């Protein structure tokens, strides 16, 4: 609190927080490397899609520790205290204000019919849905789509690059990490230069997403190798979102042995 009070403005506070976060991320990997926390489990098989596995495992351990100490308890409290209809309204609102990302990528992926439908969906939910708290567009048959710039790059043939675990943000890959930048500038909080608004929406969004992910905790925690489980699930989901509409689509599954043979 003393640090925040010494900040002369929101911009200075933001830069201070980012410098501290960068320092934590920069020091975590060498510390984990010396302590052995980034080592691979005995008998595990290296995934050719994961060139930065030691770094990624260190980040995964850091994110998991932070989640168990802060985000998971807060999300459980949020679910326990806030009624389901109110949580649904928060999810709808966040989805609505960020739906411009889907609309922008509709154009970039040449889904012009979906573009018209998604614009109509945004207008209906923003007006009749009281700023997006409600979802009347669904009752009108306006289907919700989920598109981002990482998918757009994939649609146009850009390879994913290596799997990558980002500090605080979690699973990604090189292509999707790059795609976060243009997606950011397709959102309201990305365009409006207000750090308080940006941090508030980021925090509420993170809490909302964590609360919705609570049912999967037991599955991940009980996995033999939670890191490999999350990696496999995330890569398959992203591969499906990019390529599912193509003819002769074959899921991108992990290899069963080091040579990729059965």
Give pLDDT tens digits for 24-44.
444 343 333 333 345 666 666
Of how many residues is the chain composed? 262
Residue 67 is assigned to a structural domain of this protein: yes
Q: Which of 89-98, 233-242, 244-253 has the lowest mean pLDDT?
A: 244-253
pLDDT exceeds cutoff 90 at 173: yes
Beta-carbon contacts of 123 under 8 Å, excluding residues fewer than 6 positions away, are none
Which pLDDT score is estimated for 261? 40
Cβ burial of 173 (10 Å; 0-12, 13-18, 19+) is buried
Q: Evaluate if residue 136 carries a pLDDT over 90.
A: yes
The predicted pLDDT at position 247 comes to 58
Q: Which domain holds residue 65?
A: 55-243
Q: Is 220 left (phi over 0), alpha (psi -120 to 50) or beta?
A: alpha
- For residues 155 and 239, the answer to whether their CB atoms sit within 8 Å is no
* DSSP-assigned letter for residue 44: -
Residue 229 domain-assigned (yes or no): yes
Q: What percentage of residues in the chain have a pLDDT greater than 70?
A: 76
| pLDDT: which is higher, 151 or 7 | 151
What pLDDT is recorded for position 152?
Answer: 96
Give the pLDDT confidence score for residue 244 in this predicted structure. Answer: 73
| Residue 47 placed within a domain | no
* 68 DSSP assignment: I
What string of DSSP letters covers 143-205? ------HHHHHHHTT----SEEEETTTEEEEHHHHHHHHHHHTTSHHHHS--HHHHHHHHHHH
In a domain, 211, yes or no: yes
pTM score, whole prediction: 0.77
Question: For residue 258, is pLDDT > 50?
Answer: no
pLDDT at 46: 82
**Whole-number pLDDT of residue 227:** 95
Whether residue 120 is contained in a domain is answered as: yes
Helix (H) or strand (E) holding 100: helix 99-108
Average pLDDT over residues 198-220: 94
Asked, for residue 39, whether it belongs to a domain, the answer is no
- Section 120-140 average pLDDT: 97
pLDDT digits (tens, 9 = 90+) for 67-82: 999 999 999 999 999 9
Q: How far apart are CA 226 and CA 233, in angstroms?
A: 11
- Looking at the 3D structure of the chain, how many domains does it have? 1
pLDDT score of 2:
44
Q: Which pairs with CB-CB distance under 8 Å and at least 24 residues apart come from 19-26?
A: 21/167, 21/168, 24/167, 25/59, 25/62, 25/167
Could you tell me if residue 232 is inside a domain? yes
**Kind plus residue range of the DSSP H or E element containing 209:** helix 195-213
**What distance in Å separates the CA atoms of residue 82 and residue 88, rounded to the nearest whole number?**
10
Percent of the chain whose pLDDT exceeds 90: 69
Q: Is the pLDDT of residue 262 over 60?
A: no
Q: Assess whether pLDDT exceeds 90 at residue 182.
A: yes
User: What 3-state class would DSSP assign to 128?
Assistant: coil
pLDDT of residue 16 exceeding 50? no
Give a yes or no: residue 237 inside a domain.
yes
């Amino acid at each position: 609190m003393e640090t925040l009070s010494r900040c002369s403005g929101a911009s200075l506070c933001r830069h201070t927080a980012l410098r501290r976060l960068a320092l934590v991320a920069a020091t975590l990997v060498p510390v984990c490397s010396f302590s052995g926390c980034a080592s691979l489990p005995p008998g595990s098989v290296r995934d050719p899609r994961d060139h930065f596995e030691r770094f990624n495992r260190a980040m995964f351990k850091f994110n998991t520790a932070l989640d168990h100490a802060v985000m998971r308890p807060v999300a459980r409290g949020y679910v326990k205290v806030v009624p389901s209809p109110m949580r649904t309204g928060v999810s709808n609102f966040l989805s609505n204000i960020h739906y411009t990302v889907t609309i922008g990528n509709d154009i970039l992926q040449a889904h012009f019919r979906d573009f018209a439908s998604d614009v109509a969906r945004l207008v209906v939910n923003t007006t009749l849905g009281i700023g997006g708290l409600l979802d009347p567009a669904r009752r009108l048959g306006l289907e919700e789509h989920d598109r981002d710039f990482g998918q757009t790059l994939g649609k146009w043939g850009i390879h994913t690059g290596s799997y990558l675990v980002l500090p605080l943000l979690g699973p990604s890959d090189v292509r999707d990490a790059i795609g976060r930048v243009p997606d950011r500038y397709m959102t309201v909080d990305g365009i409006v230069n207000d750090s308080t608004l940006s941090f508030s929406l980021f925090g509420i969004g993170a809490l909302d997403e964590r609360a919705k992910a609570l049912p999967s905790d037991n599955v991940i925690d009980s996995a033999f190798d939670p890191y490999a489980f999350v990696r496999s699930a995330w890569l398959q989901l992203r591969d499906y979102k990019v390529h599912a509409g193509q003819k002769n689509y074959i899921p991108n599954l992990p290899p069963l042995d080091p040579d990729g043979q059965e």
